Structure formats: C-alpha cells, structure tokens
Amino acid sequence: MKGSRDKYSDLEDDESYLSFFTRHTNKKDYSTFISAYNHLTDFCKKNEISVDEIGDAEATDFCLYLKREVCGSGRQDCSQEQAEVYVSKLSQLFSWMVSETEYLDWEPFEDVIDEEHFEYDERDDKPLEIPLNDLRQHVQNAMRPLELMIVLILLKTGLRRGELVDLDMVDVNLDHPISRFMPSPRREIADFPDSLYVDSTKQNSKEKSFREIPIDEELKSALVWYLKMRPPSSESPEPLLVDLDNQSGSYSRLGNGHGGVFYRFQRWAKRECLWDPNSNRKNIHPHWCRHWFTTVMRVNVNESDILMGTPRDYVKGLRGDTDDDVIETYSHHWESLRDPGDPAWREIYEDAMPSLLTNPENTDIEAREPWKTLERKTPDEIIELQLDG
C-alpha cells in the first residue's frame, strides 16, 4: 500500500509521514493531529498491527479503545467529544492520503464516525454547515455527469463511499422504459420498483449492512438521464458508475481512490468553494453527505408516521447501521404492520427528502412547514414548529 517517496518532493530524510502532512495543513490543528495519531499508534502497538493494516474492524476497535481505555481512564484531557474529534481528524488524514498519494488505498475511519460510539449532550445541537437553498445551488452547479450523480446519490441515499463504488446495474430497479436495456434487478428488489439495494458482501461495503433504499422521482430522473449516456462496460457484473473520462474505449468501474469517487467529489467541492485546504472545518467530503442525509431525515420524518420505534430507528434502517437489528425489522416487516391509511416505508422517505434539482422555496409545503428548509434547530424548536403546523 505504500507509495514512492518520489511522490512527495519535499519529504525530508527520516521525517514521519504525519510531520510531513502537518507541514501542509492548518497549523492550529497540529496538536490535535499529533494526539490523534499518537493514540492510533498506541492502539496499533497493543494489537501488534501497523497503521496501513487498519480496516473496518480495526477502526471500530480503535473507537472502542478510545472510549474505554482513554476516555474511561479518567483523563481530563480526553472527553468522548474530543475522542470523536480525534477519529474525525484521522479520517481527514487518511482521506487525503487516499486521494493525493499512493501511500494508502483505503480510508478505514470514514464509516465509523457516524456509528455513534461516543456519547455527549451536544451531539444533537450541531448545526448544518450549508443552508438547503445554498446546497441546491451547489448541486445544480455540477458541471460533469459523474459529479452530479456522485453528489446526488450520496445526498439522497446516505450511502457510504464504498457502497456507492460497489453498486452494480443489477442493484438498481427503475420503473421506467429504460429498464428494458438494463440487467434484471436482483431478487431482493425485484418486487420493489424505484429502489436500490446495498449488498454488504461486496469488497468496499460495510459488513452486515444489507438494505433496500427508496429512489425518489428526482433521483430516478437523474439516473435515467445518466444511463442514457452511460457506455457499456466489459466488467461482470456491470458497475453502475463507470469512468466516463476514459478515452481507451474500455469503460471500467469508477474506483474509490485517486481519480475515483473521492477525487471527483473533491473537484466539485473545490470549484464550489466548499473545500478549503487550510481549514478542515469548512470542508465537505463524501461522508459529510451521510451526515446531511441523517440530519435531514431525522428532522423531517414525522414521528406520528412511524409504526415501529422512533424516527431515529427508521433512519438507522435507511443508513444501514449495524449495531442492532433495525435494518431487518424496518425493511422486511413494515408493510405487515400497516393499517389502511398508514404511510408506506418509501412514502415516509419521499415526504422527508427535499428536492435538490429544483428550488421549491415558495411552495406551499415549505411555507407551511418552515422547518423543512433545514435551518438546523434544537429538538424543542422542531417539536414546537410541528405542533404549530
């Protein structure tokens, strides 16, 4: 996994990679990166592994290590909130190495950030960084088909980046004439039109995260538009996203590393001034879309429509969280509990997911329910607005 030193023109002799990285990032974050990396190396020593051997399981174990052995040791300098910051910094560090270097080809911390290993009171009050109407404009400014599809799918589905890379044509079922030119959808979604399926046995996907996700009319229209121009691929099974910039005539799956999903997402974000290399807090990245999806659904889902559990449980089912059995429960047993007039599983999703390709700020629903503009509010404010509506 390690690349050539020629890749880093000013890498000094015997300099650690972290020292090199911190010379090229915001200086105020230096101590945080150092602390995060030191905790990581301590964890690796205890488990007798190297940093470049860390995968999903090791990343999860590292979070538990921070929570139990670092935060739980009574040290005042490491709260659970600070521990989550450490994991976030490591995710940024590894993402940078994946996209800009050949040192690593996999970012193991992206998926564990949102698994809620850490608990603290301020979690629900974190603001969204981009107002909905501003985000709409940024999405609509996407200049290339793959840029638009990557951003739109991530925002509309909450997929992990690896899950997006792993999507095949058979994982998508569209109720549209274009389906005649697509492979037959896999059996799990054969009876569920306008949906996609996450198969967590695939190479880049998280284990035990199988699920069906609805496709709303907006994403459906975008997928049809993309599929009309998508060239055939020689791979089997056929990938959904292929590298349209490949001039060789052999179109292969769009990957996860350099030149792939992360690179194209970052290119769009930089052009939209959403990526500042000198300020990590101002950046958005593929996993930011998963945070956005979570916030949108939790804010917009009406609790009275939920037949089992809470809106939080419903969103966990859509996200593919693997800490309990919510995926199986919500995706397979919802319809059996419905009475006449109760909303379907996908109807709740469609009602909660806002438009990103149109600007409906003057429509009746947003005038009637201003909380759907997604200006982040506290839970009490959301409840008050819902009651007033």
Is 223 in the same domain as 249? Answer: yes
Is 143 in the same domain as 207? Answer: yes
pLDDT value of residue 114: 63
* H and E: helices and strands count for the chain: 15, 3
> Is residue 135 predicted with pLDDT exceeding 90?
yes
Residue 212's alpha-carbon distances to 149, 193, 358, 386, in angstroms, are: 19, 11, 26, 29
Q: Which of 272, 303, 334 is the last residue of a domain?
A: 272
Is 137 in the same domain as 264? Answer: yes
Would you say residue 53 lies in a domain? yes
Q: Which of 74, 98, 124 is the last residue of a domain?
A: 124
> Is residue 23 predicted with pLDDT exceeding 70?
no
Residues 46-94 pLDDT 10s: 999 988 888 878 888 998 898 888 886 655 557 777 888 888 888 877 8
Is 82 in the same domain as 186? Answer: no
What is the rounded average pLDDT of the residues 281-306? Answer: 84
Domain with 233, as residue range(s), is 133-272
Would you say residue 335 lies in a domain? yes
Query: Within the chain, what is the greatest distance between any pair of CA atoms?
Result: 71
> Is residue 19 predicted with pLDDT exceeding 90?
no
Residue pair 356/135 in contact (Cβ under 8 Å)? The answer is yes
Residues 191-220 pLDDT 10s: 999 999 999 888 878 777 889 999 999 999
Residues 213-249 pLDDT 10s: 999 999 999 999 999 988 888 888 999 999 877 666 6
pLDDT value of residue 356: 94
Element (H, E) at 198: strand 195-198
Is 99 in the same domain as 165? Answer: no
Q: Residue 79 has what DSSP assignment?
A: -
pTM: 0.69
Total count of domains within the chain: 3
In 3D space, the residue among 307, 260, 268, 239 whose CA is nearest the CA of residue 105 turns out to be: 260
pLDDT value of residue 83: 85
What is the rounded average pLDDT of the residues 17-45? Answer: 76
